[in-house]
Amino acid sequence: MNLTLFDLDNTLLNGDSDFEWSQFLIRIGILERELFELKNQTFYDQYKAGTLDIQEFLDFQLKPLSRHSRKTLDVWHQQFMAENILPIITPSARDLVGQHLAAGDVCVIITATNSFVTYPIAREFGIEHLIATEPEHLCGEFTGRVADVPCFREGKITRLNNWLAARNWTLESFAQSTFYSDSLNDLPLLCKVSNPVAVNPDETLHAYAIQHNWAIMSLRA
């Protein structure tokens, strides 16, 4: 039995769902463009550079969830999926996931983006298991705070180990563990699996992958 882990943003998606969600809320008039667009771009640039303060970003990203009912958010998310997400899912990404599912691998999307945004995306790929940053909720509504360890950098290792332990597994339970990612932020977890794959890699990850003879691929074709 093999374990296959997929990063989501700029890996399975030809774009970033975190960034796109905020841009969507700006476009439909929920967030003020002048106030939020620059901050959204700044956080995205920091993420790509490996300098993101995850707590500061989560405060920015999760607060809007607390200002609206879950029913309203779910309606907006359906529109978001149709207009922002489906156009950035490439056939190559669908094919890659399909190959691993057909092989009987345990497939998991593991992402820093919160589970409200990413759960429907995982379902679109046919992937049952999602490890994501968890927004805190109370009586079915979001509080604007984060629950559990953010699924970011070393936090991905913590969250994965907890997920595996809940099923009486470790990484060593699998004949092979594969992780597909584009980002330098995922180097800690990429170094833990038996088969790291750099997908559409940023400059830092690309250089590291070449140095360590990791596979490099693109899903953008």
Q: Is 7 a catalytic residue?
A: yes
Q: Which of 9, 16, 18, 186 is catalytic?
A: 9
**What is the token pair recorded at 72?**
């309203």
29: left (phi over 0), alpha (psi -120 to 50) or beta: left
Contact 17, 121 (CB under 8 A): yes
**Does the structure show a pLDDT above 90 at 62?**
no
Confidence (pLDDT) at 40: 82
Confidence (pLDDT) at 138: 87
Q: How far apart are CA 47 and CA 169, in angstroms?
A: 31
Q: How far apart are CA 149 and CA 147, in angstroms?
A: 7
Q: Which of 7, 16, 182, 202 is catalytic?
A: 7
Confidence (pLDDT) at 133: 95
What average pLDDT does the segment 64-82 reach?
A: 94
Q: Is 221 helix (H, G, I), strand (E, B) or coil?
A: coil
Q: How far apart are CA 216 and CA 181, in angstroms?
A: 10
Q: How far apart are CA 185 and CA 205, in angstroms?
A: 9
Confidence (pLDDT) at 107: 98
**Does the structure show a pLDDT above 80 at 221?**
no
The CATH class that applies to domain 2-217 reads alpha beta
Q: Is 186 a catalytic residue?
A: no
Q: What is the domain partition of the chain in residue ranges?
A: 2-217
**Does the structure show a pLDDT above 80 at 66?**
yes
Q: How far apart are CA 165 and CA 159, in angstroms?
A: 10
At residue 47 the predicted structure's pLDDT band, cuts being 50, 70 and 90, is confident
Q: What separation in angstroms does the CA of 141 have from each of 25, 107, 115, 162, 188?
A: 18, 29, 14, 25, 33
At residue 124 the predicted structure's pLDDT band, cuts being 50, 70 and 90, is very high
**Does the structure show a pLDDT above 80 at 33?**
yes
Confidence (pLDDT) at 52: 84
Tokens 């009586």 sit on residue = 139
**Does the structure show a pLDDT above 80 at 196?**
yes
Average pLDDT, the chain: 94
Instruction: Answer with the residue of higher pLDDT: 138 or 154.
Output: 154
Q: How far is CA 92 from the centre of its chain?
A: 18
